[in-house]
């Protein structure tokens, strides 16, 4: 009886619900110290996060050979998390600096300027001209959220066009910021590649001045990226339509192993005259996951405009978290500032990207050796941390239940979780669940 009452109360007008609420509470509460009010009995259990919930299930599994291909966190060939040597060295250098004061709202300035150069290029004219408004942010999530809030305030009535599919948290972020969402065609299941015609059509059909979310490289979850020529075409069309390009770059360095190449799309757009927005994350490429380090930037028309835009970014950040965390920014700043450390980091990113590429090759090879009837070329065609296998939700469930192999239900696997010790078992399990099926 009470749950039903609680539900129907949510549908009442707020003013009308209050007397009812206090009646309920008086009914519940007894006098004396044990009395309890009941503000929250109507709160339902939220669904598990589709990505982070996979890790929860994985942790609960007692099979010693279990495999976690859920969250995109890099693992070495022994399946262990990695702290880069360049990061350890940076940490040794910042240890004992004994500075823990609040950062400015916009974060560590050194960190911000180095990040902007990393993304837009050391010799980028928009950077030199001071046109880039930028603040340190809480990794990729925080950057996207700052932009979504900024979009609601300063691009009112605009909706965001999000690729289908995309990182599931994009939907949460723009929804919670109160910005309407549309999808644009991106992944073509038949080819397990890019639906370029569909994408261009959707860009063309969107109202002029729409906001488009683009994955700069190593698209998550599909691993399918446009070619440079395709990026050029998208850039021109988006210029014609006066669309606003917001790039989410969570994998710079991880796609090809080369930070400059991985930022090519952004630079194509800038060269064409776009004023882009950008979310940068150091979670993967520097392995700083839990440090929550990122940068949110907007390219403006002038330094004067950039100053105003930056002040508004801070106005959004202050009531969210006041100022960003220090530690991770110190590490990134140290690494990007010091030529030797930076070189070392470039190499280490190259090694991570190369290992993933090797695993792609191995997995595909193993599946072919097992006599799989399916074409697994997309495993090596796709790029970055993730592979969109094309497996169904039911197959994913079976892999978890029968094989203790965990991935998100869209069939996305994190290649970083694959290593020479588990790739054979993975291939066998994938073969087992797919051999009879049409894919």
Partner 1 sequence: MKTTASPRYGPGAPQRAALLNKPAAAVVANGSRLAGVEMAPPDPILGVSEAFKASKDPNKLNLGVGAYRTEELQPLVLEVVKKAEQKMLAAGYNKEYLPIEGLDAFRQATVQLLLGSDSAAVKEGRVAVLQALSGTGSLRVGAAFIARFMKGTTVYISNPTWGNHRNIFGDEGVEWKYYRYFDPDTVGLDFKGMVEDLTAAPDGSIVLLHGCAHNPTGVDPTPQQWQEIADLCKAKGHMPFFDVAYQGFATGDLDKDAFAPRLFVDNGLEVMVAQSYSKNLGLYGERVGALNVVLSDADAAKSVLSQLKRLARAIWSNPPTHGARIAAEVVGDADMFELWKSEMAGMAGRIAKVRGELQAALESRCPDRDWSFITKQIGMFSFTGMTPQQVDNMTNKHAVFMTRDGRISLAGLSSSKVAYLADAIVDSVRNH
Stretch binding partner 1 (CB under 8 A), from 7-15, 109-117, 195-203, 346-354: 7-15
Among 324, 384, 390, 411, binds partner 1 (CB under 8 A): 324
| 248 noted as active-site residue | yes
Cα separation, 424 vs 216, in Å, equals: 32
376 included as an active-site residue: no
Regarding 4 and contact with partner 1 (CB under 8 A), the answer is no
Q: How many whole angstroms separate alpha carbon 173 and alpha carbon 158? A: 15
Q: Does 25 bind partner 1 (CB under 8 A)?
A: yes
Among 192, 215, 219, 292, binds partner 1 (CB under 8 A): 292
For the question of residue 174 being annotated catalytic, the response is no
Q: How far apart are CA 70 and CA 416, in angstroms?
A: 10
Q: Where are the beta strands (DSSP E) in 316-385?
A: none
Q: In this structure, are residues 81 and 286 in contact, taking their beta carbons and an 8 Å threshold?
A: no
Among 63, 311, 343, 420, binds partner 1 (CB under 8 A): 311
| Residue 33 binds partner 1 (CB under 8 A) | yes
**SS3 sequence of 59-120:** HHCCCCCCEECCCCCCECCCCCECCCHHHHHHHHHHCCCCCCCCCCCCCCHHHHHHHHHHHH
Give which of 260, 263, 326, 267 is closest to 99, Cα–Cα: 326
Residue selected from 163, 193, 287, 411 as contacting partner 1 according to rule CB under 8 A: 287
Of 66, 113, 155, 232, the one binding partner 1 by CB under 8 A: 155
**Residues 325-354: x where in contact with partner 1 by CB under 8 A, - otherwise, as a string:** xxxx--------------------------
- Under rule CB under 8 A, how many of the chain's residues touch partner 1? 109
**Cα dihedral sign, 285-289-292-298:** positive
Query: Shortest Cβ distance from residue 244 to partner 1 (Å)?
Result: 6
| Minimum distance of partner 1 from residue 410's CB (angstroms) | 17
- Least distance (Å) between residue 9 CB and partner 1: 11
309 binding partner 1? (CB under 8 A): yes
391 is an interface residue for partner 1 by CB under 8 A:
no
Query: Which position among 36, 78, 229, 339 is part of the footprint of partner 1 (CB under 8 A)?
Result: 36
Could you say which of 5, 85, 104, 373 contacts partner 1 (CB under 8 A)? 104
Q: Which of 293, 271, 312 is nearest to 110 (CA)?
A: 293
How many residues in total does the chain contain?
Answer: 439
Q: What is the DSSP letter of 156?
A: T
The answer to whether 207 contacts partner 1 (rule: CB under 8 A) is no
Question: Catalytic pick from 195, 225, 262, 284?
Answer: 284
Element holding 302 (H helix, E strand): none
The answer to the question of residue 120 lying near partner 1 (CB under 8 A) is no
Which pair of tokens denotes residue 404?
Answer: 């203790």
User: Among residue numbers 393 through 432, which ones bind partner 1 (CB under 8 A)?
Assistant: none
* Contacting residue, 73, 255, 263, 405, with partner 1 by CB under 8 A: 73
Helix (H, G, I), strand (E, B), or coil: what is residue 161?
Answer: strand
CA torsion, ordered 392, 395, 396, 400, to nearest 10 deg: 170
Q: Which positions are annotated as active-site residues?
A: 167, 248, 284
């Amino acid at each position: 009886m009470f749950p039903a009452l609680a539900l129907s109360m949510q549908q009442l007008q707020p003013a009308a619900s209050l007397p009812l609420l206090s009646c309920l509470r008086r009914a519940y509460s007894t006098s004396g110290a044990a009395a309890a009010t009941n503000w929250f009995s109507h709160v339902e259990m939220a669904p598990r996060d589709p990505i982070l919930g996979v890790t929860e299930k994985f942790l609960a599994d007692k099979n010693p050979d279990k495999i976690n291909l859920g969250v995109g966190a890099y693992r070495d060939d022994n399946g262990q998390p990695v702290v880069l040597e360049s990061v350890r060295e940076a940490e040794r250098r910042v240890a004992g600096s004994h500075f823990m004061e609040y950062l400015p709202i916009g974060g560590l300035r050194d960190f911000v300027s180095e990040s902007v150069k990393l993304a837009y290029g050391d010799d980028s004219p928009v950077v030199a001209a001071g046109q880039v408004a930028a603040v340190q942010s809480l990794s990729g999530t925080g950057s996207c959220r700052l932009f979504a809030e900024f979009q609601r305030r300063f691009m009112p009535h605009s909706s965001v066009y999000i690729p289908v599919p995309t990182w599931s948290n994009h939907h949460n972020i723009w929804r919670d910021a109160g910005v309407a969402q549309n999808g644009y065609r991106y992944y073509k299941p038949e080819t397990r590649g890019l639906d370029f015609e569909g994408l261009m059509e959707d860009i063309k059909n969107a109202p002029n001045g729409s906001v488009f979310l683009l994955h700069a490289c190593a698209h998550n979850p599909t691993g399918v990226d446009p070619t440079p020529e395709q990026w050029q075409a998208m850039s021109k069309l988006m210029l014609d339509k006066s669309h606003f390009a917001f790039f989410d770059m969570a994998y710079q360095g991880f796609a090809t192993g080369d930070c400059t190449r991985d930022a090519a799309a952004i630079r194509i757009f800038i060269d064409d005259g776009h004023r882009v927005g950008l979310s940068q994350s150091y979670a993967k490429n520097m392995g700083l996951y839990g440090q929550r380090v990122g940068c949110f930037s907007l390219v403006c028309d002038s330094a004067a405009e950039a100053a105003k835009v930056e002040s508004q970014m801070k106005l959004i950040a202050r009531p969210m978290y006041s100022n960003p965390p220090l530690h991770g920014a110190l590490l990134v700043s140290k690494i990007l500032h010091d030529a030797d450390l930076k070189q070392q980091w470039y190499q280490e990113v190259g090694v991570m990207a190369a290992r993933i590429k090797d695993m792609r090759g191995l997995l595909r090879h193993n599946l072919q050796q097992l006599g799989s009837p399916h074409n697994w070329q997309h495993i090596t065609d796709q790029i970055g941390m993730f592979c969109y296998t094309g497996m169904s939700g039911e197959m994913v469930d079976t892999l978890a239940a029968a094989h203790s192999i965990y991935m998100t239900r869209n069939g996305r696997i994190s290649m970083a979780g694959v290593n020479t010790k588990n790739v054979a078992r993975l291939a066998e399990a994938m073969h087992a669940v797919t051999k009879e099926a049409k894919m």
